Amino acid sequence: MTEITAPKSSLTSGEFTDEIREQLKYTQGVTPEQATAADVYVATAAAVRRHLVDSWMKTQHDMVNGDTKAVGYLSAEFLMGKQLENALLNAGLTEQFEGAMKELGFDTKDVIDAEYEPGLGNGGLGRLAACYIDSLASIGVPAFGYGIRYQYGIFKQEFDENGKQIETPDYWLVNEEPWGHVDYNRDQRVNFGGEVVEENGKRVWKPAWAVRAVPCDYMVPGYKSGRVNTLRLWTAKSYDEFDLLTFNKSDYLDAVIPKVEAENISKILYPEDSTPQGKKLRLEQQYFFVSASIHDAIRVFYPGEKNPDLTTLPNKIVFQLNDTHPVIGIPELMRVLIDEYGYDWDTAWSITNKTFNYTCHTLLPEALEVWPASLIGELLPRHLEIIKKINEQFMSELKAKGVADDQIERMRIYTDGKDASVRMAYLATYGGSYVNGVAELHSELLKDVTLKDFSSVYPDKFTNVTNGVTPRRFIKLANPRMSDLITEGLGTDAWLSDLEQLKGLIPLADDPEFVKKFAAVKQANKNDFAAFAKRKYGFDIDPNTMFNTMIKRLHEYKRQALKILAVIATYADIKSGKVDPDTLVPRTVFFGAKAAPGYYLAKQTIQLINNVARVINNDPATKGKLHVYFPWNYNIELAQNLIPATDLDEQISQAGKEASGTGNMKFALNGALTVGTLDGANVEIRERVGAENFFLFGMTEPEVSALYAKGYDTKGLSREYYEKDPQLKQAIDMVADGTFSNGDKDTYKDLVNDWLNKDYFMTLADFRAYMDIQAEIEETYRDPMKWARMAVLNVANSGYFSSDRSIEDYLERIWHTGALK
């Protein structure tokens, strides 16, 4: 087998060992003999960073002094995952690391495992941001990721003895965090509150309080590009370390309160990812990081200039708004240009308009942020004035274009009246140059439904960029065996930075030797996962069963409920003797999912899944035939372990609800077959891998719309499906009758009620189609060579879903820039 050649750095393994020894001594204060794996991890990280510094500084220098426009990716979340292995790979130090660990007597795995995974994101949107900064650096585009360094990331999930989700705080900074460099000398002041007064004919903001934004910089090394970009995450610090005036014995606590309040801003990541709560702290977070980032960009690109010519700003940097979360940046840049630098409104508007673009990541109307005007007025009074003026200008523009009055009313950015509010998606659409959805279907629905009024007036603003995932983390690191086999098959490892080269595997799908090897890789990954799951969760998993996986946030629209009802139905058929278990393909079903702490039905679904797992796994009737496991605390590490071991992946959202999905891409690229609906990027995956290599089922988006029109959710039509389908009825009745709650009939009553009376996401309506496709899945699986061949074709045809390609699309369609020269 050809060795996979990691990009080689000029450093030898001996030199790298010496570097690590130095770091152990001078930063950790230990000898290699005294060192633990955690010490070696910290020392190695420091050695890697040291090794990257020159490229990092050169990249910054070339960015500021060259004429290649940079990208500022503004995102409230960057779900990075563990850094060490990835940094080693991209820096070309993998072999040196292996050599060094041998020399120092450490297991590479123990050292890599010592890192605590930073969970600074909720799910798809945050992980996408992490993939994008990897690709930007790998392509060599100068870029900043700008975000927040939350002290607490996404909560840790545990299950109690009843199978209920328990959230515990994720204090990821428990141990030394060796990657971030806190730069107190590049701080920014962020103001809040107060009032706006008239002074010499000008509106002047007199803020009431301020927070110090301190950047923590993370190097983002490109794969084989020699470029190292920056992820700059802001921490909130107080200016008043102690309020000495109030500091006397009795007032001690009062004296520290302002400090605590200021620092709360970067304390915690909000764990809801669909229903904005209109919380003041959340708006503070958004303004905090966006204001600091905009001022930072001006500082970086106009160093030392008192009167910079900011009309050139759009040639220096383009800001991408990752969903509505950073949209307050639009009025902020207006304010900076007008109030701080003295530009007139029209000039400021023209600069702002050219500088921002907006990516929408949802179709759920409730996920589009709308802020009460009163809250914006209280925290950011000057911004509210600017937003109102933007709205007036917008409405006149629409009037001048001849747009009908009722449409103009619908399009208001600022809505008047007692519940006056600001619609951030509309502000972003009007305030920036381009709006994109994240998969073709999603972008079409944005134009035709969610932002229809806008696309009719500004059709040229709308475009699509289908999401992608980084092949470095999600193929090379997650699945080294398959990576080696691909390299062997293609005779080169160049596919890792040009993923369309996977197409070269297409002919190998008809080479039985290759297909056999491919199947053997999958089996070895399954064995590995079984061992991992035993170690980490204590599960006894049979790797000689089909691995069937559903991992993603828990949401009604994603329909984990459909999957668990199907499992229950199969279980019931076995129990009742309707189905001989020996005729079934033995299957292990995996779930991984966190529910937002306040999302009641999602939490009930988690409890149900856990209890179905308990009942089924303990029932001798299904032993060896059907098992269900729910490893808790789904995170990037679990994804990297489970995806390469999966045979069948579930992408079963209600059509028209999943904007794109990115897990679907990771699975296809790791040789899992998908059972899925025509939703999000599934549509494009199926187009590419071929309809015959994809298990399609369920209603299409137009069929879903038609069923809503009939009153599915309002007239309780789901009950008809329940009454007509004995298998479905049986499954739901078992949930209701206490089978999965030790006889208690109340445990899941709200879930059952919802299914029978509302079922907004049409789980019941799609149940029959979902059960029917299982027969086809089983038949295919029984022919291992056929299955493996289909899996090879999935890999070979999914190169399009590299985040490198997504970034190329952004460069061409939206950012109009490219790699550094």
Q: List residues near ligand 26V by CB under 6 A.
A: 122-125, 128, 270, 272-274, 276, 323, 361-362, 367, 369, 438, 467, 658-662, 680
The CB-of-5 to ligand 26V minimum distance in angstroms stands at: 32
Q: Residue 121 in contact with residue 217, Cβ under 8 Å?
A: no
Nearest residue to 761 (alpha-carbon basis) of 587, 561, 582, 591: 561
Catalytic residue among 442, 666, 688, 789: 666
Residue nearest ligand 26V, Cβ-based: 124
The CB-of-35 to ligand 26V minimum distance in angstroms stands at: 39
Q: What is the dihedral of CA 482, 484, 490, 495, to 10 degrees?
A: 80
The residue (of 43 and 638) whose beta carbon lies closer to ligand 26V is 638
The CB-of-548 to ligand 26V minimum distance in angstroms stands at: 21
Is residue 627 annotated as part of the catalytic site, yes or no? no
The CB-of-466 to ligand 26V minimum distance in angstroms stands at: 10
CA atoms of 631 and 647, how far apart (whole Å): 17
Is residue 614 annotated as part of the catalytic site, yes or no? no
Backbone φ and ψ for 55, nearest 5 degrees, come out as -65, -35
Which residue type does 604 have? Q
The residue (of 16 and 801) whose beta carbon lies closer to ligand 26V is 801
Other CB atoms within 10 A of residue 743 CB: 9
Q: Residue 235 in contact with residue 216, Cβ under 8 Å?
A: yes
Catalytic residue among 324, 622, 662, 674: 662
Is residue 552 annotated as part of the catalytic site, yes or no? yes
Catalytic residue among 325, 388, 517, 552: 552
The residue (of 131 and 566) whose beta carbon lies closer to ligand 26V is 131
- Cβ neighbours of residue 791 closer than 8 Å, sequence gap 6 or more: 518, 522, 647, 671, 672, 673
Which residue type does 684 have? E
The residue (of 209 and 557) whose beta carbon lies closer to ligand 26V is 557
The residue (of 23 and 660) whose beta carbon lies closer to ligand 26V is 660
CA atoms of 811 and 320, how far apart (whole Å): 11
The CB-of-729 to ligand 26V minimum distance in angstroms stands at: 32
Is residue 563 annotated as part of the catalytic site, yes or no? no
The CB-of-437 to ligand 26V minimum distance in angstroms stands at: 9
The CB-of-424 to ligand 26V minimum distance in angstroms stands at: 10
Is residue 202 annotated as part of the catalytic site, yes or no? no
Q: Strand 648-651 vs strand 546-551: parallel, antiparallel, or unpaired?
A: parallel
CA atoms of 608 and 589, how far apart (whole Å): 14
Q: Give the DSSP letter of residue 337.
A: I
Catalytic residue among 423, 553, 594, 603: 553
- Cβ neighbours of residue 766 closer than 8 Å, sequence gap 6 or more: 559, 562, 652, 654, 677, 697, 698, 699
Catalytic residue among 49, 282, 361, 688: 361
Nearest residue to 188 (alpha-carbon basis) of 249, 141, 237, 125: 237
Other CB atoms within 10 A of residue 181 CB: 13
Q: Residue 64 in contact with residue 315, Cβ under 8 Å?
A: no
Alpha helices in 302-431, H assignment, sequence order? 313-316, 329-335, 345-355, 373-379, 381-400, 405-410, 424-431
Residues, the chain: 821
Other CB atoms within 10 A of residue 779 CB: 11
CA atoms of 11 and 565, how far apart (whole Å): 55
Q: Residue 133 in contact with residue 73, Cβ under 8 Å?
A: yes
Catalytic residue among 51, 127, 224, 558: 558
The residue (of 282 and 625) whose beta carbon lies closer to ligand 26V is 282
The CB-of-362 to ligand 26V minimum distance in angstroms stands at: 5
CA atoms of 116 and 174, how far apart (whole Å): 9
The residue (of 143 and 424) whose beta carbon lies closer to ligand 26V is 424
Is residue 719 annotated as part of the catalytic site, yes or no? no
The residue (of 379 and 408) whose beta carbon lies closer to ligand 26V is 379
DSSP string, 298-329: HHHHSTT-SS--GGGHHHHEEEEEESSTTTTH
CA atoms of 274 and 370, how far apart (whole Å): 12
Cα dihedral across residues 562, 643, 509, 788: positive or negative: negative
The residue (of 130 and 561) whose beta carbon lies closer to ligand 26V is 130
The residue (of 86 and 467) whose beta carbon lies closer to ligand 26V is 467
Place of tokens 């799910």: 123
The residue (of 28 and 75) whose beta carbon lies closer to ligand 26V is 75
The CB-of-736 to ligand 26V minimum distance in angstroms stands at: 30
Segment (H or E) for 215: strand 209-221
The CB-of-664 to ligand 26V minimum distance in angstroms stands at: 9
Backbone φ and ψ for 454, nearest 5 degrees, come out as -75, -40
Among all residues, which ones are annotated catalytic? 361, 552-553, 558, 662, 666
